[in-house]
Amino acid sequence: MFTISNPHLLLIDGMALLFRSFYATAVRNNFMYNSKGVPTNAVQGYIKHLLTAVEKFDPTHVAVCWDMGSVTFRNEMFTDYKANRQAPPIEMSPQFDLAKNVTESFGIMNIGLAGYEADDCIGTISTQNKEHAVITVLTGDRDLLQIIDDRISVLIMQKGIGNYQHHTKSSFIEEFQLHPKQLIDVKALMGDSSDGYPGVKGIGEKTAFKLIQDHKDIEGLLANIQTLSPSVQKKLNNDLEMLHLSRQLAAIECNVPISIDFNNTAWSVSPSSSMEICDEFELKTVRNHLLKTKWFEEHDLFASKV
């Protein structure tokens, strides 16, 4: 039973926020080590991103999804999936567990399952809960645009903290002249160099979008292949197997075997406990950020004493 009449769940791609935060300061070697010698730059930036989004969009519920290792079911389908990615920098490695510990200390649920990506968990939790809650997803990964529907929107982080592209179903259709799920077929054609799967060799983003806009999906495209230019026909025929495999790799899995107690994602913030968390984990920049938020403006007397 849900105690809030208009629940709004903010689902956060923890990996996207953590990596963005790490590289934003790593370029200046500003790793902000704590007294134990553990770098905290990624964690502090991640929490600032998280708190800024919560303050700006005012959700009733918040949860964070994580990758749980580098190997997923997609590697069984295609061994080169994400094989081109380098191991995280040494300063990044200890911050994965630290980020989850800090998240939990703030009373925010961590979600993840071995063999699946954070995207898959986000897609699954969104699907499971969209009937009784509005879902907003915060990420830097445009792959998640495919899960947008009437009750799910996606925030793509932009440069700086608190800047987003907010994609709703209507704005997506207006911008791309496609429905969100058709993005899967676009990526099947164009591939994804960052994820390491090629799609159809020789077909780029512009052509991929045009083909799906004209033919709706891969089935419609192949059924009308004789109407395409000889060059495009040849490219498709040469890479049919990879086209279908890339389509599977591009699709976010929305039936991951996980579920949550929605009530356990309820958001609340306590100024006093927040300060204790910042002190415990030595998060000075987070502490300074918190003091400027609306939660502390509502507690002026407390803020003046800290």
- Summarised one tens digit per residue, pLDDT across range 170-217 is 999 999 999 999 999 999 999 999 999 999 999 999 999 999 999 999
**pLDDT band at residue 4 using 50, 70 and 90 as cut-offs:** low
Residues of the chain within CATH 3.40.50.1010 domain(s) are: 8-175+253-300
Taking each helix axis from N to C end, the angle separating 230-238 and 240-250, rounded to the nearest 10 degrees, works out to 70
Task: Examine the pLDDT at 1 and tell me if it is beyond 60.
Answer: no
Give me the chain's average pLDDT, please.
93
Judge residue 94's burial from the number of C-beta atoms within 10 Å of its C-beta, 0-12 exposed, 13-18 middle, 19 or more buried: middle
Query: What is the average per-residue pLDDT within 79-86?
Result: 91
Q: Strand order of the sheet with strand 152-157?
A: 109-111, 61-65, 8-13, 134-139, 152-157, 164-167
Instruction: Find out whether 98 and 38 touch, Cβ atoms under 8 Å.
Output: yes
pLDDT at 22: 95
pTM of the model: 0.93
Neighbouring CB atoms inside 10 A of 169's CB total: 15
pLDDT at 269: 87
- What is the percent of the chain where pLDDT is above 90? 87
Alpha-carbon distance of 269 to 19, in angstroms, equals: 25
pLDDT (tens digit, 9 = 90+) per residue, 242-265?
999 999 999 999 999 999 999 999
SS3 75: helix
Residues of the chain within CATH 1.10.150.20 domain(s) are: 180-250
Instruction: Please name the residues in contact with 252: beta carbons below 8 A apart, sequence gap of 6 or more.
Output: 119, 120, 122, 123, 143, 144, 146, 147
Instruction: Find out whether 221 and 233 touch, Cβ atoms under 8 Å.
Output: no
Please give the structure tokens belonging to residue 207.
Answer: 């052509």
Query: What is the average per-residue pLDDT within 72-82?
Result: 95
Q: What is the largest CA-CA distance in the chain?
A: 75
Task: Examine the pLDDT at 298 and tell me if it is beyond 70.
Answer: no
Domain covering 8-175+253-300 in this structure, CATH number: 3.40.50.1010
Architecture of the CATH domain 180-250: Orthogonal Bundle (1.10)
Task: Examine the pLDDT at 303 and tell me if it is beyond 70.
Answer: no
> Across the chain, how many H-helices and E-strands are there?
15, 6
Tell me which residue of 134, 14, 120 sits closest to 65, measured CA to CA.
14
